[in-house]
Amino acid sequence: MSEEKPPESGPAELVPGVTNPRTLGLERFLIRLRGGTATQSAWRLSVSSGEGRGAIIFVEISPEEKFYRGEGFFLGWPQERLAAAYRSLLPKPEKDGFELHQLG
């Protein structure tokens, strides 16, 4: 009688379905929405992975209305999946090094 081993659980995937994702950069740029008269700001998160290169564009029209657009291997992903990938791949803020020293 052989015992079956439970499957080994490896590290959780940063972005499910994407092999070794690496953030290349985060840049802000200006866009115009179709039918809109005002210029908006958007964020473009560029990513490299085993599947190739891609980007996620994040547009926040108002605090209640935001959307994501995928490019490269992110093309065609649903909004929820793009939002989760965007949050996971955002660069972590660097510590600014500012410290208040208590004197006295």
pLDDT by residue (tens digit) across 5-49?
A: 444 444 457 788 899 999 999 999 998 888 778 888 999 999 999
Is residue 67 within 8 Å of residue 87, measured between CB atoms? no
Residue 76 CB partners (closer than 8 Å, separation 6+): 70
CA angle 84, 82, 47 (to 5 degrees): 95
Task: Taking residues 52-79, report their average pLDDT.
Answer: 94
Q: Which pTM was predicted?
A: 0.75
- What is the predicted pLDDT for the residue at 10? 40
- What is the predicted pLDDT for the residue at 104? 59
Nearest CA among 60, 52, 61, 58 for reference residue 70: 58
- What is the predicted pLDDT for the residue at 7? 42
Task: Taking residues 45-60, report their average pLDDT.
Answer: 95
